[in-house]
Amino acid sequence: MKTKRARVSCAAVMLAAWMCACSEEGAVNSGNILSAPDAIVVTAKHSICVGVEGFHLASKLPFLGLVYDGEFREVLADVFQCVVDADDCDEVYECIGFLPDEKCDPEKATSRCISETELVECQRVADGTGRAQVVRCDFGPPGHVPGYCIADEDGGDAHCGTGTCDPVKVPEYWCEGQVLVRCDDRVTVAQDCAAMGRKCIEGEDGYAGCGTGAPCKHGSRCEGDTLVLCSQLLGVEMNRIDCGELGGAYSCVEKLDDDGTIVGCDIPLDDQECERDTSYCSGTVAQVCAAGVMEEFDCASFENAWCEAIPSNDPDDQQALAHATCTAH
């Protein structure tokens, strides 16, 4: 069982990260990894148990089916289904890789190596306590270069990495052949661009990335149903994603907002019944716009939670709408 938890622990991070089909670093696969209603269930339970507020991830999780493939995709799918089926927070914790009955103090605990390729770290959860979680350094998304657990010589946190680095002497990113290397907290992490069918490309100011190498002067764009992702820093195309692989009415959509043109895989604006990522409370029920349709989740159906409106955190827009979250604390 320990091995399984270690395998899925990296997937737990995905629930709290902005990683979707607009990522510049993912591989391309086909199919929707979970339905919009299930994505709402996953984000609701994660908010109640782990404490990440809001349903903003609900519209992004299905896109992981386009970004990841192979064993990592299978692990993500298993984790999501496990969370959907979970009856309480203890089951959610086990789904996402927390060790049962092993609590810790998130204010004092440091991550530590427990084997050459595994570390244990303390993650704060919604009730303010900490839970121990195993992370495997040798397992990750497509292109991930297996690493090992690197202990801190001064007694600080251990990290997963492929080696050590001095951020004063090296740039943040660089290429070693077709491998993209990043210096992060004095530890190197690496990604094999060639394993994803791409090239490692270096730009100016210590930036590099995995891309196709094709020139891209006018930013990300739609070519029919294909989303073409570009890096302004590198001036090249980073990825091409067939939005139609998500099925249904998904296509590549361009829309204009106050910050400029936004390009992504989405339901065409004329076919949307609601504005993406909007949510509000109706009693204990959270109403959430996902895949262009209003869906709902009764927060009270899990851990006796309730629906709470969280004010916008945009200091420049005092009229911005609040968003909903499920909470039990």
In a domain, 190, yes or no: no
Confidence of residue 194 (pLDDT cuts 50, 70, 90): very high
Give the Cα separation of 188 and 236 in Å (integer).
24
User: Token pair of 307, please?
Assistant: 């629906």
In a domain, 114, yes or no: yes
Confidence of residue 165 (pLDDT cuts 50, 70, 90): very high
Structure confidence at residue 283 (pLDDT)? 96
In a domain, 1, yes or no: yes
Q: Is the pLDDT of residue 17 over 50?
A: no
Name every residue whose Cβ is closer than 8 Å to that of residue 43 and which is 6 or more positions away in sequence.
Answer: 15, 52, 54, 55, 56, 57, 58, 61
CB 6 within 8 A of CB 135: yes
User: Of residues 194 and 26, which shows the higher confidence score?
Assistant: 194
Q: Is the pLDDT of residue 282 over 70?
A: yes
Stated length of the chain? 329
Please state which of the ranges 64-68, 92-96, 153-157, 213-217 shows the lowest mean pLDDT: 64-68
Give the Cα separation of 150 and 159 in Å (integer).
5
Structure confidence at residue 122 (pLDDT)? 93
Mean pLDDT across the chain: 83
Structure confidence at residue 41 (pLDDT)? 94
In a domain, 151, yes or no: yes
Q: Which domain holds residue 76?
A: 1-161
H/E segment holding residue 313: none
Q: What is the mean pLDDT of residues 180-196?
A: 94
In a domain, 270, yes or no: no
User: Of residues 72 and 321, which shows the higher confidence score?
Assistant: 72
Q: How many CB atoms lie within 10 A of CB 267?
A: 21
Confidence of residue 6 (pLDDT cuts 50, 70, 90): very low
Give the Cα separation of 82 and 92 in Å (integer).
7
- Which tens digit of pLDDT belongs to each residue from 59-93? 777 667 666 767 888 888 899 999 999 999 999 99
Q: State the Cα angle at 24 between 18 and 29, rounded to 5°.
A: 90
Q: Is the pLDDT of residue 265 over 70?
A: yes
Q: Is the pLDDT of residue 179 over 50?
A: yes
Q: For strand 279-282 and strand 260-266, is the pairing parallel, antiparallel, or unpaired?
A: unpaired
In a domain, 80, yes or no: yes
In a domain, 287, yes or no: no
Q: Is the pLDDT of residue 4 over 80?
A: no
Closest residue by Cα to residue 203 from 173, 178, 223: 173
**Total of domains in the chain:** 1
In a domain, 133, yes or no: yes
Structure confidence at residue 300 (pLDDT)? 97
Give the Cα separation of 26 and 18 in Å (integer).
12
- Which tens digit of pLDDT belongs to each residue from 97-146? 898 878 899 998 889 999 999 999 999 999 999 999 999 999 888 899 99
Of the spans 130-134, 242-246, 314-318, which averages the highest pLDDT? 130-134
